[in-house]
Amino acid sequence: MYEWDSSLETGNDVIDSHHKELIAAINNITEAHRQGKGRDEIAKTMDFVSDYTVMHFTAEEKLMVQYNFPEFSVHKRYHDEFKETMKNLTRRLINEVSIDDYISLVIFTLGDRLFSHIKGEDFRMAAFIKSRVNEPFPKTEVLEKLQITEKC
């Protein structure tokens, strides 16, 4: 089980609340396994993790664009790779390998990677946003070009 603690706090309330939710969702997968729930239940929990991660990455990417974060493309590439990994943790795979192997794969490819991503790329992004937060908000027409209509 993963525990959220202050060493994971980026200082951005939206991002931090998403990270807490994501860690809880990953824990739900291992918890479902511990309780002996079947493949179907684990697959459903994995679907939630997957959907939530996509929503969270989109929110981070909007913030990065909004604040003109210079490391945007590197950060986005990481998100894209992470989403690609998640796609490979498919329902078919759950049925092909043992549940134990599947859970180890989830922990290794999602849980552990997520923690190092939070402490690395996400910390740098949140610090940058914090340093910019009092600067004027980008012009509406610029945001419209990027299809961002409201402040996240």
Residue range at the interface with Fe ion (CB under 5 A); choices 25-33, 36-44, 52-60, 63-71 = 52-60
Report the residue number, 74 or 97, with the smaller CB distance to Fe ion. 74
Shortest gap between Cβ of 43 and Fe ion (angstroms)? 25
Tell me which of 26, 43, 102, 122 binds Fe ion, using CB under 5 A: 122
Tell whether residue 61 is a contact of Fe ion (CB under 5 A): no
Report the residue number, 16 or 122, with the smaller CB distance to Fe ion. 122
Residue range at the interface with Fe ion (CB under 5 A); choices 28-36, 92-100, 118-126, 129-137 = 118-126
| Burial annotation 71-82 (CB, 10 A radius, 16+ → b, else e) | ebeebbebbeeb
Q: How far apart are CA 42 and CA 99, in angstroms?
A: 9
| Residue 35 identity | Q
Binding-site size, Fe ion (CB under 5 A) = 2
Tell me which of 60, 103, 106, 110 binds Fe ion, using CB under 5 A: 60
CA distances from 145 to 32, 59, 76, 87 (A): 43, 17, 19, 30
| Both tokens assigned to 99 | 């549940």
Report the residue number, 22 or 32, with the smaller CB distance to Fe ion. 22
User: What angle (nearest 5°) sits at the alpha carbon of residue 40, between those of residues 36 and 42?
Assistant: 60
Report the residue number, 69 or 102, with the smaller CB distance to Fe ion. 69
Q: How far apart are CA 70 and CA 130, in angstroms?
A: 14
Interface with Fe ion by CB under 5 A: which residues? 60, 122
